[in-house]
Amino acid sequence: MELLTTIGFGLVFFALIIVSVGLHEIGHMVPAKLFGVRVPRYFIGFGPTIFSRRIGETEYGLKAFPLGGFVQLLGMYPPGSKRYGKPSRFMELADAAREQEWEDISGADVEDRRLVYQQKTWKKIAMMFGGPFMNILIAFVLFWFLTASFGVVRTTTVVAGVPDCVKAVNDTSDCTAADPVPPAKQAGLQAGDQIIAFNGVRIDSYDQLTDSIRGNLDRVAQITVLRDGVEVELPAVHTMINQVSDEWDPTATVAAGFLGVYSQQYRESGGPLDALDQMWTMTKQSAVALAKFPVSVYFVAVDMVTGADRDLNSPISIVGASAVAGQAMTSDAYTDQQKLYLFASLLGSVNLFLAIFNLVPLPPLDGGHIAGALYEWLRRQVARVRGKADPGPFDTARLLPLAYAMAGFLLICGVVLIVADIVNPLELF
């Protein structure tokens, strides 16, 4: 029964991701229609068509494999310039794609300026950014809902407690004489103390205190606290060097100063700025994860082949994310409220990552089209300043070989991750 429940919630999560993908494509389609660009097709999924219906000039439908979606905006490739001699293989690919698209383009489309390449730069960017923007909006709404309903944990500069010794992570054994004494205990910090200065610098927030301690490494630390309403300067001690998780890359550790205190926390209802702050932190972490993506996928494949345990920080596919969501909803370690929080948080995280991933400035991703539009605008500005004729629209069809290579790479990565999520899944709960 528990297995069926896990699968059920996993399927619900998968369906919500597909809805997010559909909204991503709507994010492209709505500005395109507003700008008068013709949109012949809007489909969820790939492969054979299961269902379709034409409404106005657009065919809407569902395909057999719901692992994505697409919207066709007419006129992505401008007419090619006249060439002499035998074209290269790359140019043949570009011309073939252009000819296929232009089979759907009529003279009226050209005359009425209903093609993408005929639009102004800001309109092209709006159409391409519309998809990622929808995913960002979904993530923002989810995280705002979570911060408003479940609250945000605030950490203060008030000491909640001081451990008697320094132990390795996950070491729950009792302290012994061989274990080092944390600097906080050496300095005489007590529960209820509010740290108000560190090395002579006034402390206004927990983040400032954390940054000061981490950056101090093993140097002298002079701490001033507010104890029972009186400022007390504690004896100087040396902070310790400890390996902690990197702020931008949770898979890596960095050397940082360590004081050894537990800080008081409280929970309060958050607002939109809290949601944006959380999303900004996740964006920085996602950017680092994307830079390491090819290497990370390689190690996922190695672990799968060798039978090694899956790294908990390794990338996962939509299938893997759905499995994790299903596990979270059936875990005995959480209350129903916590399960809902995890489910919604994971859905928001996936949407934010999809947005960031699609903004990578490489074709066929949305960021690649945005980069092409910006290059076209820059080229026109340079020509205008130099007193030369408008060079015309940038021939995006020339980037198709790169787009095909990128698509092939992403396909391979997707297959590897899906297979790994089935045969060597993450076990988070």
| Torsion sign (Cα): 80, 85, 89, 90 | negative
Q: Which of 167, 185, 184 has its CA nearest to residue 176?
A: 167
Within 13 A of 13's CA, how many CA atoms are on the CB side? 31
User: Which one of the listed residues 2, 25, 59, 427 is annotated catalytic?
Assistant: 25
Does the annotation mark 25 as catalytic? yes
Strands (E), 110-178: 152-161
Specify the pairing of strand 223-227 against strand 194-198: antiparallel
Tell me which amino acid residue 156 is. T
**Residues in a beta bridge with 232:** 225
The CA distance from 68 to 65, in Å, is 8
Alpha-carbon span 140 to 137, nearest angstrom: 5
Give the closest residue to 194 by CA, choosing from 165, 166, 230: 230
Which H or E run includes 233?
strand 230-233
The residues assigned a catalytic role are: 25
